[in-house]
C-alpha cells in the first residue's frame, strides 16, 4: 500500500504541474537526470509517466552507468570527454571517502579534493549538453509541457529557462542547502544541522558553534562545485543570472525526504515530500534459517 500511495502521490503532482495537460491528453516530458542513485529513484516515476501515455524524452551523456535505453521513453545520448571507467572510479572513491574516519581538517581536505574532481566531470556533462547545437535545436523544435530534472546539477533548470518551460524537481537535497536558499526557505543555524556535521536539531551552544563552522566550510566546498555554472548559465541564456535565481524558478519540488528519518525544517508550499519512493525498488530480505542449539 505504501508503495502504491507514493506512486499515486508523485504522478498526481506531476500531472497537475503540467497545467493544461489532462488525463485524456498526454503531455511531452523532457527528462534531464543525474547519474547514479539519483536516476535509480527517478526512473520509477519516469516509467509510470510513460505507462500513463506521456511522451518521455531523456537526454543523457553517452558514458553513464545506469541511464540506458527503454521502451518507456526515447533517449538521446550526447558525447562527453570522460569515460565510463572515469565516472565509476570517481563514484567509488568518493563514497569510500565519505565513510572513512579521519581528523576533521584532513576530512575536509579529502572531501574538497574529491568534489573538485567530480565537479569537473559533471560540469563537462553540462557544457557538452548546452553546446550540442544539434540537440538543442531538436529540443527547441519540440513542444514540451514540463521539464523533469534533478537540480543537484542545474543543467536541467538552465534548459528550462532557455525553453521557457515549467520545471519539476526530483531531489533529496542540494549541497550546501542551495535548495533552501534558492526557494527562500529559512535555514537557521540554531536548529538546522549542516551537511556532514553529524549534529541533531537540538544543539547546545558549542554544537551551534560547530554548526557555524560547517556552514563556513560548506561555502568553500560549494564554490568549487557550483561557481562555474553561474557563468555558463549567463552565457547560454545571454543575460546575467544567478544560480539561486534560476534554481528558485521550479514549479514543484518533489523532495525525497521523510521526517521519520530527517530533521524538521521550514519548507515552501510547492515542496512535496515523497520519501517513501526510496523503497520502490526494494528487494526481499534473504531468508536465513536459524538453527536451534
Q: Does domain 2-279 have CATH number 3.40.50.2000?
A: yes
Q: Model confidence over 133-160: pLDDT tens digits?
A: 999 999 999 999 999 999 999 999 999 9
pLDDT for the residue 131: 95
Percentage of residues in the chain having pLDDT higher than 70: 86
* Strand ranges across the sheet with 28-32: 74-78, 55-61, 28-32, 146-149, 167-171, 252-255, 271-273
Return all residues near 288 (Cβ < 8 A) that are at least 6 apart: none
Q: What stretches in the chain show pLDDT beneath 70?
A: 1-24, 196, 278, 280-283, 285, 287-293
User: 15: part of which helix (H) or strand (E)?
Assistant: helix 2-17
Q: How far apart are CA 285 and CA 290, in angstroms?
A: 14
Q: Model confidence over 33-83: pLDDT tens digits?
A: 998 778 888 998 999 899 889 999 999 998 777 888 888 899 999 998 888
What does the domain layout of the chain look like in residue ranges? 2-279
Amino acid at each position: 500500500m505504501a508503495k502504491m500511495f507514493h506512486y499515486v502521490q508523485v504522478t498526481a503532482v506531476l500531472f497537475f504541474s503540467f497545467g493544461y495537460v489532462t488525463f485524456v491528453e498526454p503531455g511531452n516530458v523532457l527528462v534531464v537526470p543525474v547519474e547514479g542513485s539519483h536516476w535509480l529513484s527517478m526512473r520509477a516515476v519516469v516509467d509510470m509517466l510513460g505507462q500513463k501515455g506521456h511522451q518521455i524524452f531523456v537526454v543523457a551523456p553517452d558514458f553513464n552507468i545506469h541511464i540506458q535505453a527503454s521502451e518507456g521513453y526515447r533517449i538521446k545520448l550526447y558525447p562527453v570527454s570522460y569515460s565510463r571507467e572515469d565516472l565509476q572510479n570517481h563514484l567509488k572513491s568518493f563514497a569510500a571517502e565519505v565513510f572513512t574516519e579521519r581528523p576533521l581538517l584532513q576530512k575536509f581536505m579529502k572531501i574538497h579534493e574529491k568534489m573538485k574532481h567530480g565537479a569537473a566531470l559533471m560540469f563537462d556533462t553540462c557544457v557538452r549538453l548546452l553546446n550540442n547545437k544539434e540537440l538543442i535545436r531538436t529540443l527547441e523544435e519540440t513542444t514540451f509541457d514540463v521539464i523533469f530534472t534533478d537540480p543537484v546539477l542545474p543543467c536541467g533548470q538552465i534548459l528550462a529557462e532557455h525553453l521557457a518551460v515549467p520545471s519539476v524537481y526530483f531531489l533529496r537535497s542540494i549541497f550546501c542547502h542551495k535548495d533552501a536558499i534558492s526557494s527562500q526557505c529559512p535555514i537557521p543555524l540554531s536548529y538546522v544541522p549542516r551537511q556532514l556535521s553529524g549534529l541533531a536539531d537540538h544543539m547546545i551552544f558549542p554544537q551551534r558553534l560547530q554548526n557555524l563552522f560547517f556552514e563556513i566550510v560548506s561555502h568553500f566546498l560549494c564554490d568549487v562545485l557550483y561557481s562555474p555554472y553561474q557563468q555558463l548559465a549567463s552565457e547560454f541564456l545571454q543575460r546575467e543570472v544567478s544560480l539561486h535565481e534560476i534554481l528558485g524558478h521550479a514549479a514543484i519540488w518533489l523532495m525525497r525526504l521523510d521526517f521519520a528519518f530527517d530533521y524538521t525544517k521550514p519548507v515552501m508550499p510547492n515542496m512535496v515530500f515523497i520519501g517513501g519512493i526510496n523503497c520502490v525498488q526494494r528487494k526481499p530480505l534473504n531468508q536465513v534459517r536459524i538453527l536451534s542449539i
